[in-house]
Amino acid sequence: MSYPEPRYFGESGEHSGTFELTGREPDLSMGVGGTQVHYLATGGSTNGAYGLYRWEMGPRPGGPDPHFHRTMTESFYVLSGTIRLYNGERWADGKPGDFLFLPEGGVHAFKNASGQPASMLILFTPGAPREAYFEELAEIATTGRQLSPEEWTELYLRHDQYMV
């Protein structure tokens, strides 16, 4: 393993860091009383390097069924509560400090089945435009719109989500 090719060619560095300080409103709500999503760093803000999101789940059960991605890795880091994590072979109760990494093609899922609030960081590399996917899911949850199996398949394909 070696360092990647340089992406910055200046001589003295730049003052270009950004803060995302705690206490700000979530960027997205997944339905009334549902998951609150904070866009900490998007693929657009990191020049495609990664996307990092804080996922704050309410006490109601929720989370995606097993799936995989062809174009990106995904990682989960539990911040609070208990989140059921699936690595493609088994489910485990993720507690604060637990971490799960999935390479491209790695089957995975997560659920909050604890009945208590829980939160985690989700990291995608490279930085795909996951916000559009999250926002479409939020719109479906908020409006109660019902999708046909064909519409779900089309939505998933547009967002590199392959259900197992």
Q: What digits encode the pLDDT tens for the residues 63-107? A: 999 999 999 999 999 999 999 999 999 999 999 999 999 999 999
Average pLDDT over residues 151-156: 97
154 occurs within a structural domain:
yes
Kindly report, residue by residue over 9-43, the tens digit of the pLDDT. 999 999 989 888 888 999 999 877 789 999 999 99
- The residue segments making up the domain with residue 54 are 28-163
User: What pLDDT is recorded for position 83?
Assistant: 97
124 occurs within a structural domain:
yes
Kindly report, residue by residue over 130-142, the tens digit of the pLDDT. 999 999 999 998 8
* Band (62; pLDDT cuts 50, 70, 90): confident
User: What pLDDT is recorded for position 66?
Assistant: 98
**DSSP-assigned beta bridge partners for residue 122:** 53, 76
67 occurs within a structural domain:
yes
Instruction: Give the C-alpha separation, 44 to 104, whole Å.
Output: 20
| Rounded (10°) CA dihedral 25, 82, 97, 2 | -80
Is the per-residue pLDDT at 60 higher than 90? no
User: What pLDDT is recorded for position 33?
Assistant: 75
95 occurs within a structural domain:
yes
User: What pLDDT is recorded for position 79?
Assistant: 98
How many structural domains compose the chain?
Answer: 1
User: What pLDDT is recorded for position 61?
Assistant: 86
8 occurs within a structural domain:
no
Task: Assess contact for 100 and 85: CB atoms under 8 A.
Answer: yes
Kindly report, residue by residue over 140-152, the tens digit of the pLDDT. 988 999 999 999 9
CATH of the domain at 102: 2.60.120.10
78 occurs within a structural domain:
yes
